[in-house]
Amino acid sequence: MPGGVAKLALDAPAQASLGGNRVLVMREGNGWVALVGIPLSTKPGSKLRVEVQYPDKRRRLEIAVLRKKYPRQELSMAPEQAELPPEQLARYEEERKHIQEVLRTFSETGPASFAMQQPTPGRRSGSFGLRRVINGVARSPHSGMDIAAAEGTPVSAASTGRVIDTGEYLFLGRTVILDHGQGLLSLYSHLSEVSAAPGESVPAGAAIGKVGATGRATGPHLHFSVYLNAAAVDPAYFLTRL
Ligand code: ZN
């Protein structure tokens, strides 16, 4: 389903991709599997095609995408609040392109573990996949999990990884993005403080910043996203500690 993860059995180790993005491939038991992130924008009932390149053959595997009902939230606000002022549009577009590029990072070494720890203590508010409709116009669905926490609460790496981006963005505010390997990434945003630098390797649980309300946030909280093949997937699948 959209925002979910599909597991495909492979005949042998192979390179797999979906829509031009490399897909995570790993050993499982005596065989090999691909773990495919299903984009939230995928239409239920449609089929996704995963290209698999074996050393000696090429195959195409299909994923039938099921329906998942995500909550929907209708909001109305003054038009000047709902729209970006023209002078910010160019910056927003540039940042969007940059972040998309970062989210396509693929490193060959696979993740040490799929289990992630909750990056900051606190109640999980908001919800992954929530469809926001502002003044009757559908916005992109909520791509992460919001965790309520006081300003300044430490934020730690959900899993061992490498810092691939830090920045201060219009919507996301101060942000850290980690690469865990084979296209598995995690993103932490609205931070008040970032304490990690690009290129740095961080063990699971290492401090990378502090909770804040930078960017477009109504109050202090951590927005936490997990990506596979550049598709945001529900972080709840990976969190071991509730
Ligand atoms: Zn959020």
Question: What CATH number is given to the structural domain containing 47?
Answer: 2.60.40.1590
pLDDT of residue 112: 87
* Same structural domain, 191 and 80: yes
Q: How confident is the model over 58-75, as a mean pLDDT? A: 94
What spacing in Å lies between the alpha carbon of 189 and ligand 1's midpoint? 8
* CA 231 – ligand 1 centroid, Å: 15
What is d(CA 144, CA 149) in angstroms, rounded to the nearest whole number? 15
Centroid of ligand 1 to alpha carbon of 142 (angstroms): 6
Same domain, 79 and 23: no
* SS3 state of residue 53: strand
Q: Is the pLDDT of residue 218 over 80?
A: yes
For the cut 70, the answer to whether the pLDDT of residue 122 exceeds it is: yes
- Distance (angstroms) between ligand 1 centre and the Cα of 56 equals 44
End-to-end CA distance of the chain, in Å? Answer: 23
56 and 109 share one domain: no
Distance CA 46, CA 99 (A): 27
Same domain? 17 vs 118: no
Which pLDDT score, from 0 to 100, does residue 97 have? 97
What is the rounded CA–CA span in Å between residue 177 and residue 139? Answer: 23
Q: Which of 43, 64, 85 is the last residue of a domain?
A: 64
Write out the two tokens for 86.
Answer: 């023209």
Q: How far is the CA of 65 from the centre of ligand 1 (A)?
A: 24
**What's the gap in Å between 224 CA and the centre of ligand 1?**
7
> Residue range 111-125: average pLDDT?
92
Give the pLDDT band of residue 126 (cuts 50, 70, 90): low
Residues 26 and 111 in one domain: no
226 CA → ligand 1 middle, Å:
12
Q: Domain check: are 102 and 188 in the same one?
A: yes
Task: Name the pLDDT band for 43 (thresholds 50, 70, 90).
Answer: very high
Q: Which percentage of the chain shows pLDDT scores above 90?
A: 85
d(CA 25, CA 59): 15
Tell me the per-residue pLDDT of 136-153, one tens digit each, with 9 for 90 and over.
888 889 999 999 999 999
Q: Are residues 14 and 85 in the same domain?
A: no
Q: Flag the least confident range among 48-52, 88-92, 144-148.
A: 88-92
Cβ-contact 184, 108 below 8 angstroms: no
Last residue of a domain, one of 64, 85, 103: 64
pLDDT of residue 227: 98
Range of the domain at 199: 72-239
Instruction: Mark whether 77 and 172 lie in a shared domain.
Output: yes
Query: How many domains are contained in the chain?
Result: 2
* Burial class, 137, CB count within 10 angstroms (exposed 0-12 / middle 13-18 / buried 19+): exposed
Ligand 1 center–CA 96 separation, angstroms: 16
Whether the CA torsion 165, 166, 169, 172 is positive or negative: it is positive
Are both 153 and 171 inside the same structural domain? yes
Tokens of 186: 């995690």
| Residue 192 in this model has a pLDDT that exceeds 60 | yes
Q: Give the whole-angstrom CA distance, residue 25 versus residue 35.
A: 6
Question: How many whole angstroms from 46 Cα to the centroid of ligand 1?
Answer: 27
pLDDT value at position 87?
A: 84
Same domain, yes or no: 85 and 45: no
> Which tokens hold the place of 134?
């502002």
Report which of 162, 165, 153 is spatially closest to residue 100, judged by C-alpha positions: 165
Q: Which residues, at least 6 apart from 139, have a Cβ–Cβ distance to it below 8 Å?
A: 131, 132, 133
Q: Which pLDDT belongs to residue 75?
A: 86
End-of-domain residue from the set 48, 64, 80: 64
- The Cα–Cα gap between 85 and 80 comes to 7
Give the Cα separation of 106 and 21 in Å (integer).
9
Note whether 59 and 81 are same-domain residues.
no
Q: Would the pLDDT of 191 be above 60?
A: yes
Q: What is the pLDDT of residue 241?
A: 52
The DSSP code sequence of 197-226 is -TT-EE-TT-EEEE-B--SS-SSSEEEEEE
Give pLDDT tens digits for 24-37. 999 999 999 999 99
Q: What is the mean pLDDT of the chain?
A: 94
Two structure tokens written together for 203? 């063990």
Residue 242: per-residue pLDDT: 46
- Res. 15: pLDDT tops 80: yes
Same domain, 43 and 86: no
How many residues are recorded in the chain?
A: 242
pLDDT of 161 over the 50 cut = yes
Assign residue 90 the CATH number of its domain.
Answer: 2.70.70.10
Cα 217 to middle of ligand 1, angstroms = 8
